[in-house]
Amino acid sequence: MKGLVLSTLYATKKPLIIYFIVGIIAAIIMTFLNPTMSGFMVVVLLVSSIADNFKREKDSKWMYYVSTLPVKRADYVKSYYLLFGAITVISFVISFPIVLIITQSLNMALIAFLVCIGCTGLYSALFPFTFKFGPENSNTIIMITVFFMIIIYFVFYILAIALGAHHNSSMTNLLSSTNSLLVFIVFGILGLVTFALTYILSIKIFNKNFKMYSRLTG
C-alpha cells in the first residue's frame, strides 16, 4: 500500500505544493472571516489535487492495473483514505497555530480542529460516490457533497451560536464558549463516524465495480 500512496503523491506533487502554499494564505484569511473553517479550507484545496488524479487514473485504467499487483484491492481505497487522513493532520498543523495566534483563544483553535475533522469526515462521502458513478463525474460529486456538508455545518454553527448567546462580547468569544465547544465536539464525532462508514462503503463499491469490469472484459 505504501507504493500506492507514493504513486499518488508523485502524480500530484506539483499541484499539492501549490495548493499547500495557497492553503496557508487561505487559512490566514479565513481566520479573520470565520476561524472555525480555517483548517477545512486547507483540506479542500489539498484534496482538489487528489480528486483530479481520480480522472487521470480512470482514463489510464490504473485502478484495474493495480488489481493485478500483489496487493489487496482494498489497499487502493485505503491509500486514498490514508492520504485524506494525512491531509487532515497537515491542515491541523497549519491552521491550529494560525487560529491560536490570531484569535488568542485556545477554545477557538480546538473548535477549528473539530470543524476540520467534522467537515473532512462528511467530505469523504465523495469517495464512495466517485467509485460508484465514476471519476468523470467527480466535479459534480464534489459540488453536491460540499453543498450538503455546508448545510450540516451551518446547523451545528447556528446551534453553537444559540448556546453561546449569553456572551455579549465578540463572535470569537461567543463561539469559543464551553457550550459551543461541546456542540463542535459532537460535530467532530459525526465526522469520524462518517469517515469510517464511507471507507467501508467505498471498499464494497470498488470491489463490486471491479467484479463487473472483470466479467465484461473476461
Question: In whole angstroms, what is the distance from residue 156 CA to residue 99 CA?
Answer: 20
The larger pLDDT score, comparing residue 107 to residue 164, is at 107
Residue type, 176: S
- Give pLDDT, residue 198: 95
For 14-68, write each residue's pLDDT tens digit.
Answer: 777 888 888 899 999 999 988 888 888 888 888 777 766 666 655 555 555 555 5
Question: In whole angstroms, what is the distance from residue 64 CA to residue 60 CA?
Answer: 9
Residue type, 59: D
Look at the block and give the residue holding cell 497537515: 90
For 45-57, write each residue's pLDDT tens digit.
Answer: 887 777 666 666 5
* Residue ranges making up the domain that contains 80: 2-217
Question: In whole angstroms, what is the distance from residue 160 CA to residue 174 CA?
Answer: 8
C-alpha pair distances (Å), 68 with each of 8, 61, 62, 71, 76: 18, 12, 10, 8, 12
Question: In whole angstroms, what is the distance from residue 180 CA to residue 16 CA?
Answer: 33
Task: Please state which of the ranges 70-79, 82-91, 154-163, 177-186 shows the lowest mean pLDDT.
Answer: 70-79
For 170-208, write each residue's pLDDT tens digit.
Answer: 666 667 677 888 999 999 999 999 999 999 999 888 877
Does residue 217 register a pLDDT over 50?
no
Grid coordinates given for 147? 453543498
Look at the block and give the residue holding cell 484495474: 64
For 97-133, write each residue's pLDDT tens digit.
Answer: 999 999 888 888 999 999 999 988 998 898 898 888 8
Question: In whole angstroms, what is the distance from residue 61 CA to residue 74 CA?
Answer: 16
- Give pLDDT, residue 163: 79
CA 41 to chain centre: 10
Does residue 69 register a pLDDT over 70?
no
Average pLDDT, the chain: 79
- Residue 164 carries which DSSP code? T
The larger pLDDT score, comparing residue 201 to residue 212, is at 201
Domain count, the chain: 1
- Give pLDDT, residue 216: 39
The larger pLDDT score, comparing residue 7 to residue 205, is at 205
